[in-house]
């Protein structure tokens, strides 16, 4: 109960601290157990012996990724016209244009963005909406920029007063979730081959 009250009134996120502490503790404890209990040899038999520790390292990495991507998510909101520039974490973004196309069973509205335009490695991102006339339904299509240390989601909202509402979500360390899952899958395969 104290943690809930503290999280509500203070900027310090107790759940984030607990998640990171737990994740790093599992990774560190498993690594120390491997280094202190076994003589490291690059053989299949050695990998099979330390396999439970490898699985725990994968769990710890996944916990760190889940904690960072959910607790430390950042949301930015912008109202922009076509051709406007705005900053996302110090990187310049241009809202190039809006395009509409007719597909087989829906109409597509796409906002085109250029991310990190100061370098020659600018990335093109498309976000928008799909309108399905048969069911009279509108769905949002997020544009996702994947980087090793974060995923950036661009969501195109509605147009009001000739400006488009753009929401940008920054989720740090989403790739750690997948890395942890891959390590756990690898550990599961090793466990199956051991029997």
User: Mind listing the pLDDT tens digit for each residue in 3-32?
Assistant: 555 555 566 778 888 999 999 999 999 999
* Mean pLDDT for all residues in the chain: 90
User: In angstroms, what CA-CA distances link 18 with 13, 68, 72?
Assistant: 9, 11, 13
Mean pLDDT of 53-73: 94
Q: At what angle do helices 14-37 and 2-9 cross, to 10 degrees?
A: 120
- What are 133-139's contacts with CB under 8 Å, separation 24+? 133/106, 133/107, 134/105
Q: Is the pTM of this model over 0.75?
A: yes
User: Mind listing the pLDDT tens digit for each residue in 142-166?
Assistant: 999 998 999 999 999 999 988 999 9
Nearest to 66 by CA among 178, 155, 186: 178
Asked if pLDDT for residue 117 goes beyond 70, the answer is no
């Amino acid at each position: 109960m104290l943690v809930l009250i503290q999280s509500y009134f203070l900027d310090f996120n107790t759940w984030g601290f607990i998640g990171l502490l737990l994740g790093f503790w599992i990774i560190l404890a498993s690594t120390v157990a491997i280094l202190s209990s076994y003589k490291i040899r690059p053989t299949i038999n050695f990998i099979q012996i330390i396999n439970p520790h490898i699985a725990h390292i994968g769990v710890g990495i996944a916990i760190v990724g889940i904690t960072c991507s959910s607790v430390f998510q950042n949301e930015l909101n912008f109202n922009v016209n076509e051709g406007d520039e705005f900053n996302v974490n110090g990187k310049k973004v241009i809202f190039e244009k809006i395009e509409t196309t007719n597909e087989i069973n829906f109409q597509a509205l796409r906002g085109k963005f250029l991310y990190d335009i100061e370098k020659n490695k600018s990335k093109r991102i498309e976000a928008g909406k799909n309108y399905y006339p048969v069911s009279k339904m509108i769905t949002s299509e997020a544009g996702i920029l994947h980087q090793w240390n974060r995923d950036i989601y661009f969501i195109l909202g509605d147009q009001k007063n000739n400006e488009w509402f753009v929401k940008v979500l920054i989720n740090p360390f989403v790739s750690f979730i997948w890395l942890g899952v891959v390590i756990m899958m690898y550990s599961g395969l090793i466990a199956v081959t051991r029997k």
